Amino acid sequence: MARKKQVLVTGGSGFIAKHIILALLDEGLSVRASVRNEDRAADVRAAMNTHARDRETLDARLTFVELDLTRDEGWDAALDGCSALIHTASPFPMAQPEDEDELVRPAVDGTLRAMNAARDAGVTRVILTSSTVAVTGTRLPAGRHRYDENDWTDVHSAMTTPYAKSKTLAERAAWSFVREHPEMKLTSINPGLVLGPPLDSRIGTSLELIERLLAGKDPLVPRLGLPVVDVRDIAQMHVRALLRDESVGFRFVGAERFMWMTDLAKVLAAEYPDRRVPTRQAPDWLLRLFAIWDKSIKGILPTLGHETPVNSALAAEILGIEFIEARQAIRTSAASLFREGHVS
């Protein structure tokens, strides 16, 4: 893909998306970012004015458009003059909804709306932000110990949460669309728990987990684990996938390593020994009891005790990613939360 082309990034005010926008700008590309309102556009522009290498040309290379994933209006104008689409927009709640369609329908419909709009506009290059939850929600066969890009979450499994189902079905819909329209060139990026430094005071749901641990809001942590990755690596994965034709047709798992929540908490406790960071593990029965009243707990019950180590070798091989160590991503997240005043 030639430089100096314009890329549409959906969900432009998100934690990951802002890092992608910054990486694109630093590569010399122009960006049109979709946002829900003008206030969010101002936030993104301020973040880029703080962090971008070339700020003199920023006004010309960074523009905004209001888009709604649930509506058809505005997509033609948003994609006009663009050479590629990076679709990051998708709901990511802290608590799982009672009705899974609240997540599944907008994720799937929004992805297909973006894919159709791109095709109609003659934009054939698409990078989709998916998730490791679209990979790891199944049982590994005997003899295999890590998940990779060939694995798909079983959406009918009892351990599949509405969020995991939404990401899996949305990604599957994108790949089905490409099979029906072979002129489309798709790559998906499947991050784990994305940590690292936010570019401004707005933090994503993933960093709220670190904030909660630092604040000592819970006396115990669940028997839960996730693959962990730094947001800067995920941004680079998107940009390198866009710039490297050999990435077309691939899914890329993005994670440095799998970590149990207790191990993640111990990193924070060691870094901030004066804080009451919970490091003891809660028994599963206690969480099931609390889940009667707390929806955020209810949402994690299906994945308690499910170990999901992943293999990110393909990202290293094709995209040349050397992942930042997960413990460093945790420390950087915490330092950023203190700096921005999210934790006192």
HEC readout, 31-55: EEEEECCHHHHHHHHHHHHHHCCCC
In this structure, the strands spanning 6-10 and 30-35 are: parallel
Strands (E), 53-159: 62-66, 82-87, 125-129
Identify the burial level of 304 via C-beta atoms within 10 angstroms of its C-beta, where 0-12 means exposed, 13-18 middle and 19 or more buried. middle
Q: Are 146 and 310 in contact (CB under 8 A)?
A: yes
**Which tokens go with 197?**
């430094």
> Residues 262, 268, 271, 276: is their CA dihedral positive or negative?
negative
Q: What is the pTM of this model?
A: 0.93
Give the Cα separation of 223 and 304 in Å (integer). 5
Given its phi and psi angles, is residue 118 left (phi above 0), alpha (psi -120 to 50 degrees) or beta?
Answer: alpha
Residue position matching structure tokens 């029965």:
285
In this structure, the strands spanning 125-129 and 193-195 are: unpaired
Q: What is the pLDDT along the chain (344 residues), one digit of tens a residue?
A: 433 589 999 999 999 999 999 999 999 999 999 998 888 999 999 999 999 999 999 999 999 999 988 889 999 999 999 999 999 976 555 455 566 777 788 899 999 999 999 999 999 999 999 999 999 999 888 889 999 999 999 999 888 888 899 999 999 999 999 999 999 999 999 999 999 999 998 888 899 999 999 999 889 999 999 999 999 999 999 999 999 999 999 999 999 999 999 999 999 999 999 999 999 998 888 888 877 777 767 777 778 888 999 999 999 999 999 999 999 999 999 999 999 888 87
The per-residue pLDDT for 27 is 95
Give the Cα separation of 108 and 169 in Å (integer). 6
